[in-house]
Amino acid sequence: MPTQTVLDIVVTWNTRNNTNDSICEYGIDAIDEHIAKSPQGPNKFVDGGAQKATQYIHRVTLAQLQANTTYRYHCGSQLGWSAIYWFRTTFNHSNWSPSLAIYGDMGVVNAASLPALQRETQLGKYDAILHVGDFAYDMCHENGEVGNEFMRQVETIAAYVPYMVCVGNHEEKYNFSHYTNRFSMPGGNDNLFYSFDLGPVHFIGFSTEVYYFTQFGLKPIVMQYDWLERDLIEASKLENRAKRPWIITFGHRPMYCSNNNGDDCAKHETVVRKGLPGLNFFGLEPLFYKYGVDVELWAHEHCYERMWPMYNYTVYNGSLAEPYVNPGAPVHIISGAAGNQEGREPFFKKMPPWSAFHSQDYGYLRLKAHNATHLYFEQVSDDKGGKVIDNFWVIKHTHGPYKDSHKAFHEL
């Protein structure tokens, strides 16, 4: 499974046995032009279940890769080899237009979006994938075998493009150990919060779960919040925002939703949005608004929902005719309908005025970051055979902190 930092690719794979000589062979013209091996060897990972099932996680870095180039690779040792896979590196500058698939809540029993995503990824339609939490339902189940099955299924996508992830509530067991061990995101923060650049976009992945599983302490909340602000300050510097004007965040549990199921996002004082109850410390909505985050991507609710540009339950459309042209607040999108066995989420009978479009169809979101001013989104329905059921442009001629002075079109 390759993940990307600039033009280095980290390839991750698992073995049952401790094969210290496992390597990755790769190249442009020949599969064995180069050889990469982890200097530390594999990491031993023991599942927290009764059987204490053990596997070994191998990570190697394919460094100094050429931009916009196709590489082939395989992994293994004298005990056996994987199939041959390929990936295409991206450009190492901001003046190009990446395409991504975005979804959460897939699972292994009813992975509704998996066939279409497999086909489209292997046809080269995407430069990266964002999986916004809740992977297998659950990776820890059956002494980790459900996690192994999920990784086998998703290999048909993740072996070809960077598979970027954030943690969801279904990864909580054993202090999120399956999530932190199985994936390899940038930054060295146990994959819980990190950022990366792709074309004109600065992406920020983070954990909403630190606000809900407080039995692990408050330190993760403080550490992540401090890191988020530092990252946003850096991304907001004039020279950085000139190169990558778009800032897009992705986290599992939404700040807002219209689902009639009692989840936190359906309540007014959402913890992720407002911060710790009674204190309002470390709320993310004011932070993201302050630094001009453009789009906030979510999952968790097994549905698709697009919202009008919104801050603090107030809609800040760019205009009545063109709501997403120079909006005055971030655009929230929920795409948590890639499958799962728990079923679809119901909506309120009376939808709130800040909800622009909603659907219970299984499916996934596509993003095309065309340039510094135009993003294009479309939601694909698996129930309708790949039909695009919603699409819209977000257009911004300037980027940066939002101005509190402009007029809201709806007071909610």
Q: Are residues 112 and 192 in the same domain?
A: yes
Q: Are residues 137 and 40 in the same domain?
A: no
Structurally, the chain folds into a number of domains equal to 2
∠ Cα 255 403 240 (to 5°): 85
Given this model, what pLDDT does residue 78 score? 87
- Contact by Cβ (8 Å): 269, 303: no
For residue 408, being part of any structural domain is answered with no
For residue 54, being part of any structural domain is answered with yes
Q: Are residues 64 and 135 in the same domain?
A: no
State residue 376 phi and psi, 5-degree precision: -120, 130
Is the peptide bond preceding residue 32 cis, with omega within 30 degrees of 0?
Answer: no
Q: How large is the C-alpha radius of gyration of the chain?
A: 21
Which CATH number covers residue 7? 2.60.40.380
Q: Are residues 192 and 306 in the same domain?
A: yes
Q: Are residues 240 and 298 in the same domain?
A: yes
Q: Are residues 160 and 67 in the same domain?
A: no
Given this model, what pLDDT does residue 405 score? 45
CA separation for the pair 139, 151 (Å, rounded): 9
Token pair, residue 201, equals 């976009």
Which CATH number covers residue 309? 3.60.21.10
- Contact by Cβ (8 Å): 1, 163: yes
For residue 401, being part of any structural domain is answered with no
CA separation for the pair 391, 384 (Å, rounded): 15
Q: Are residues 82 and 189 in the same domain?
A: no
Given this model, what pLDDT does residue 4 score? 47
For residue 13, being part of any structural domain is answered with yes
For residue 403, being part of any structural domain is answered with no
Given this model, what pLDDT does residue 278 score? 79
Q: Which domain holds residue 5?
A: 1-92
Residues paired with 68 in a beta bridge: none
Q: Are residues 245 and 339 in the same domain?
A: yes
CA distances from 57 to 42, 74, 121 (A): 5, 16, 24
Q: Are residues 131 and 271 in the same domain?
A: yes
**For the chain, how long is the longest CA-to-CA vector?**
67
Token pair, residue 20, equals 């210290």
H or E element, residue 173: helix 173-182
- Contact by Cβ (8 Å): 3, 185: yes
Token pair, residue 385, equals 């055979």
Given this model, what pLDDT does residue 3 score? 53
Given this model, what pLDDT does residue 168 score? 98
> How many Cβ atoms are within 10 Å of 183's Cβ, its own excluded?
24
**Residue 325, helix vs strand vs coil:** strand
- Contact by Cβ (8 Å): 338, 105: yes
Q: Are residues 242 and 364 in the same domain?
A: yes
Given this model, what pLDDT does residue 412 score? 44
For residue 407, being part of any structural domain is answered with no
Residue 173 CA, chain-centre distance (Å), reads 20
Residue that terminates a domain, selected from 76, 92, 108: 92
Residue that terminates a domain, selected from 92, 124, 139: 92
Given this model, what pLDDT does residue 217 score? 84
Kindly give the confidence (pLDDT) of every residue in the chain, 412 residues in length, as a single tens digit, with 9 standing for 90 and above. Answer: 655 444 899 999 999 989 878 899 999 999 999 999 988 889 999 999 999 999 999 999 999 999 999 999 999 998 899 999 999 999 989 999 999 999 999 999 999 999 999 999 999 999 999 999 999 999 999 999 999 999 999 999 999 999 999 999 999 999 999 999 999 999 878 999 999 999 999 999 999 999 999 888 899 999 999 999 999 999 999 999 999 999 999 999 999 999 999 999 999 889 999 998 877 899 999 999 999 999 999 999 999 999 999 999 999 999 999 999 999 999 999 999 999 999 999 999 999 999 999 999 999 999 999 999 999 999 999 999 999 999 999 999 999 999 864 555 554 4
State residue 287 phi and psi, 5-degree precision: -65, -50
Q: Are residues 254 and 110 in the same domain?
A: yes
Residue that terminates a domain, selected from 92, 109, 138: 92
For residue 402, being part of any structural domain is answered with no
Q: Are residues 172 and 33 in the same domain?
A: no
